[in-house]
Amino acid sequence: MTRTLTRTYDSHATARSVVEQLEAAGVSSSDISIVGSDGKSGETNAGEGAGIGAGVGGAAGLLAGLGIMAIPGIGPVVAAGWLASTAAGALAGAAAGGLVGSFVNEGHDKEEAEYYAETVRRGGSVVSVRTEPEHEATVQAILDGATPIDRTIREAEYRAGGWSRFDENAGPYRPPVV
């Protein structure tokens, strides 16, 4: 039975590296998705500036298909893979829920899905992989080897700042001024 494994990363470069490692390990690009900020816009607003002007360079596989799409409540992001396609379909009216709905459709509970969407909104990147049980350990080792965000800690930080759930009608995220 296919299972979807998902991790979040603060750096788009790290997420891209994870995708490259997954493909090098033989995971089909059709089983991998990446959505997030590429950090190249130079904007202070991660949600609005995510992915603008992104160039992939000589990347192969999934990364060669990175494109820019706008997600309600998040803004422009770079995205590729089945998750991006599902979210794009939802945005076009084919399904409800945008990015959160895409994660739920892949087997994540609503709370997880809202955390993933909020992480993207705040400038992070998400990598999701569909895998069969016999490949799960390899996929997990690659995903976890890149030091993903600790969901428990990050979610507590979000909640301490007043976050309770992803709101696609919320304005773009602006980090606190320190």
86 or 2: whose pLDDT is higher?
2
Token pair listed for 93 = 């009216």
What are the C-alpha distances in Å from 31 to residues 41, 83, 107, 159? 28, 10, 14, 32
Confidence class for position 45, pLDDT limits 50, 70, 90: very low
Instruction: Answer yes or no: is pLDDT of 3 > 50.
Output: yes
- pLDDT classification of 86: cutoffs 50, 70, 90: low
pLDDT at 163 over 70: yes
**Would you call 95 helix, strand, or coil by DSSP?**
coil
Q: Which residues pair with 131 in a beta bridge?
A: 3
Q: What pLDDT score was predicted for residue 69?
A: 72
Please name the residue ranges forming H helices in the chain.
Answer: 12-24, 46-49, 82-91, 98-105, 110-121, 136-145, 151-160
The average pLDDT across 41-46 equals 36
**At residue 136, does pLDDT exceed 90?**
yes
What's residue 87's pLDDT? 55
Confidence label for 156 from pLDDT (cuts 50, 70 and 90): very high
The residue that leads in pLDDT, 94 or 31, is 31
Structure tokens at 122: 């705040």
50 φψ region: left (φ > 0), alpha (ψ -120 to 50), beta (else): beta
pLDDT the model gives residue 89: 52
Local confidence band at 147 (pLDDT 50, 70, 90 cut-offs) = very high
Looking at the predicted structure, is the pLDDT value of residue 40 above 80? no
